[in-house]
Amino acid sequence: MQSVVRPESMARITTPELANAFIEDQVAKVRAQVGDKKVLLALSGGVDSSVVAALLIKAIGKQLVCVHVNHGLMRKGESEQVIEVFGKELDANLIYIDATDRYLELLKGVSDPETKRKIIGNEFIKIFDEEAKKLEGIEFLAQGTIYPDIIESKGVKAHHNVGGLPEDMKMDLVEPVALLFKDEVRVVSEALGLPHAMVYRQPFPGPGLGVRCLGAITRDRLEALREADAILREEFDKCGLAEKVWQYFIAIPDIKSVGVRNDVRYEGWPAIIRAVNTTDAMTATIEEIPYPVLHHITDRITHEVEGINRVLLDLTPKPIGTIEWE
């Protein structure tokens, strides 16, 4: 992991003018670093990778090759949205890879969170290496690493952006937003003209639902998580909480409890709602969710999602709890 320290003299990017100055500076730096070579970018569709894509397209155009890897741990409809927005609307040089089976086979029976992260991260880079070998002139790997990623990788978490890179990776890194906090990334994204829905898209960890399907991942629990999370996001959109809450998601632990459905006792998993607000992801407070909304979400999840029979609400701020469960 490279050592990156945000200069104390660096002003927080809070206005379009500051964002445009940052963009101009980074465009020049990327051109100087990359020259006439090609850059491979992991394009998840989240705001971090999206702003890097927009910056690099502005700096080097078609020298950028965007790769979207569907590791089977995406939220419902997410890969389809990436293809629609980037492949069609933004006309990016986009390669789509469905690696679902490959990832889930590697993760079978793995319950340790850091081991899961490293498997996901290392396989992510292996796929990139495979794609790079198919292309000529690829010498750089672009990443949407932001400043909290770098800070938190020192003992708190590790993923493909900062903590899971293989030592023998053959590509140099391009990380134009590595000194920015999440709120600054959004200001830069808007200055680049990215769609509002993309700029304020839910933050999503590199390992995806792999760190929200707690413990060893199974296909049935992963699918239940995906469906429950989609219901939560849909209901937050309807009631106006979507842009009021910084991050909200479902986590499902590898435990079951007894429940009743159609007058029959059965065992099911609990779905845990996490909804937090923050400005820099280093601390987080709990968002107040009206009880009628919680009741409605609970009713939908427990009646529409196979395998879930309870809905819980996580009220733990950061610190002491991290935003993600793993």
- Residues 12-32 have a mean pLDDT of 96
Query: Which token pair is 304?
Result: 């529409």
Query: How far is it, in rounded angstroms, from Cα 315 to Cα 318?
Result: 10
Gap between the Cα atoms of 140 and 37, Å rounded: 8
Highest mean pLDDT among 67-81, 195-209, 221-235: 221-235
pTM above 0.85, yes or no: no
Instruction: Give, to the nearest 10 degrees, the angle between helix 182-191 and helix 47-60.
Output: 40
Q: Quick one: 238 exposed, middle or buried, by C-beta within 10 A (0-12, 13-18, 19+)?
A: exposed
Mean pLDDT of the chain: 89
Q: What average pLDDT does this structure show over 27-49?
A: 91
First to last CA, the chain: 21
User: Can you tell me the mean pLDDT for 54-65?
Assistant: 92
| SS3 of the chain: helix, strand, coil, percent, to 5 | 40, 20, 40
Residue 35: what are its φ and ψ, rounded to 5°? 65, -130
* Tokens found for residue 56: 């690099």
The fraction of the chain above a pLDDT of 90, given in percent, is 62
User: Is residue 162's pLDDT more than 60?
Assistant: no
**Which range has the worst mean pLDDT, 42-46, 87-91, 305-309?**
87-91
Distance CA 227, CA 224 (A): 5
Contact 326, 113 (CB under 8 A): yes
pLDDT above 60 for 1? no
Judge whether residue 163 has pLDDT over 60. no
Q: Which domains does the chain have, with CATH numbers?
A: 16-199 (3.40.50.620), 212-313 (3.30.300.10)
Q: What pLDDT is recorded for position 9?
A: 72
- Tokens in use for 81? 């949205």
What mean pLDDT comes out for the span 248-274? 94
Question: Both tokens of residue 74?
Answer: 């995406």
Helix or strand run (H / E) with residue 69? strand 64-70
- Cβ(148)–Cβ(282) under 8 Å? yes
138 or 269, higher pLDDT? 269
266-281 tens-digit pLDDT: 999 999 999 999 988 8
Structure tokens at 320: 């002491």
**Which two three-digit tokens encode residue 123?**
């396989």
What is the enclosing helix (H) or strand (E) of 312?
strand 308-313
Helices (H), 240-323: 291-304
List pLDDT tens digits, range 199-214.
Answer: 887 778 889 999 999 9
- What pLDDT does residue 151 have? 75
Would you state the structure tokens that stand for residue 130, as one six-digit string? 């495979």
pLDDT for the residue numbered 166: 47
